[in-house]
Amino acid sequence: MTAEPTAVLAEADALELLGRGAIEIEGRLVDASNTTLRAEISLGNLTRRCVYKPVRGERPLWDFPDGTLAGREVSAYLVSRATGWDLVPPTILRDGPLGPGALQLWIDEPEDVDGLIGFVPAYDVPDGWFPVAAARDDDGDAYALAHADDPRLARLAIFDAVINNADRKGGHVLYPATGGVHGVDHGVSFHVENKLRTVLWGWTGKSLPDDGVAVLHRLLADLTGPLGEALDDHLTISEVQHVTLRIKRLLRARRFPQPPQEWPAIPWPPI
């Protein structure tokens, strides 16, 4: 059966496919630090690709409990769904060929897509872009790590602050044909300590947009109901409570957060 990776799939259909489809592993994504597999998933006449991250393939980390990264991937999707911003592809937790793990719909990007994050010559930062860090190549030429002043990325920055994302690399931002942006790889999120590391620091200290404030209020209300109940299946009570605390801090300040001073604010590698 031939996959149709470029066709848009409704969220409900994607969740049903991920939850009930037959999984056939195609291969491993070798750049990932944890076992990350690309697979085809089929249900009836419908076939798509997905990313499968089995719990048994998670590398132990000193600051996150073993076997919890898949649940954090699912939790990021649950928060994304509650925002209404469609930032994280449909993601569920289910048994697969290598046991329980996170299963996420594969996102194809058009070949000619223009990225919104990257290294650019320091003297030629595009208009409307924020430089966030300086760098030099092997020849000593100066470059800037920069990103666009784009509302889609601003929403992602707010989302990352809510989930306390410790690994927002430029390569973890995808650009589907729908015209939105998707964030992926959220396994090191939701820690109770501030671990925000991201390349999206361009709005540091700037006022939150009105739609961001409205979404934060909605998330705060949802955490006392369906969203909080759903997160309880994947996170500890304290981790869910700290989601609430982070949202309250954002609403109190009404500004994008400041980079931490105690540790690197940008993940490595950044792209």
pLDDT tens digits for 213-240?
999 999 999 999 999 999 999 999 999 9
Grouping H, G, I as helix, E, B as strand and the rest as coil, residue 153 is helix
Percent of the chain at pLDDT above 90? 89
Q: 157: Cβ–Cβ under 8 A, 6 or more apart, which residues?
A: 198, 200, 203, 256
The pLDDT value given to residue 262: 84
Tell me the two tokens of residue 255. Answer: 């500004």
The pLDDT value given to residue 33: 80
Q: 239: Cβ–Cβ under 8 A, 6 or more apart, which residues?
A: 190, 191, 192, 231
First vs last C-alpha separation in the chain: 34
Q: Report the amino acid identity of residue 81.
A: R
Q: List the helix and strand counts (H, then E) for the chain.
A: 6, 10
Tell me the two tokens of residue 73. Answer: 């991937």
- In 14-168, at which residue ranges do the beta strands (DSSP E only) sit? 22-28, 37-43, 46-54, 91-96, 99-105, 117-121, 129-136, 142-148
The pLDDT value given to residue 138: 87
Q: Where on the phi/psi map is residue 261: left (φ > 0), alpha (ψ -120 to 50), or beta?
A: alpha
Whether residue 260 contacts residue 194, with contact meaning beta carbons closer than 8 Å, is answered with yes
The pLDDT value given to residue 31: 80
The pLDDT value given to residue 81: 98
Whether residue 80 contacts residue 87, with contact meaning beta carbons closer than 8 Å, is answered with yes
- Sites in the chain below the pLDDT cut of 50: 1-5
pTM: predicted TM-score of the whole model, two decimal places: 0.95
